[in-house]
């Protein structure tokens, strides 16, 4: 990817998805130039940690959310944050 999109070195920041807000619409996966996101069924352990209304919302949206299996590839371009209509993604500093 070109430096025009990249803001930081790879792995310095990671995208964090708030599952209570995510509706798995997919624009994060579509706009990410580093293929960080994957839309898939929510893991039972993640689902168990949600409140009643968040669980209901997840079920309405097919039980799917956005995961970041390649978070270490993130270059903090911020396109995912801007594209998410639910404001469910934030960039956080990666743990060293």
CA geometry: angle at 74 spanning 63 and 80, to 5°? 55
**pLDDT per position in the chain (96 positions), as tens?**
445 566 788 878 999 999 999 999 999 999 999 999 999 999 999 999 999 999 999 999 999 999 999 999 999 999 999 999 999 999 999 886
Whole-model pTM: value is 0.87
> Where exactly are the structural domains of the chain?
13-93
The confidence score (pLDDT) of residue 2 equals 46
**DSSP sequence for the chain:** --TTT--S-TTSEEEEE-TTT-----HHHHH-TT---EEEEPPHHHHHTS-HHHHHHHHHTTTEEEE-TTGGG-----HHHHH-TT--EEEEEPP-
Q: Which CATH number describes the domain made up of 13-93?
A: 3.30.70.20
């Amino acid at each position: 990817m070109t430096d025009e999109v990249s803001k930081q070195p790879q792995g310095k920041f990671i995208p964090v998805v708030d599952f209570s807000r995510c509706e798995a619409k997919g624009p994060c996966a579509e706009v990410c130039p580093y293929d960080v996101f994957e839309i898939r069924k929510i893991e039972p352990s993640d689902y168990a940690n949600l409140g009643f209304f968040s669980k209901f919302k997840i079920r309405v949206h097919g039980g799917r959310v956005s995961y970041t299996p390649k978070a270490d590839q993130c270059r903090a371009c911020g396109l995912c944050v801007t594209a998410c209509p639910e404001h469910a993604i934030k960039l956080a500093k990666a743990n060293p």
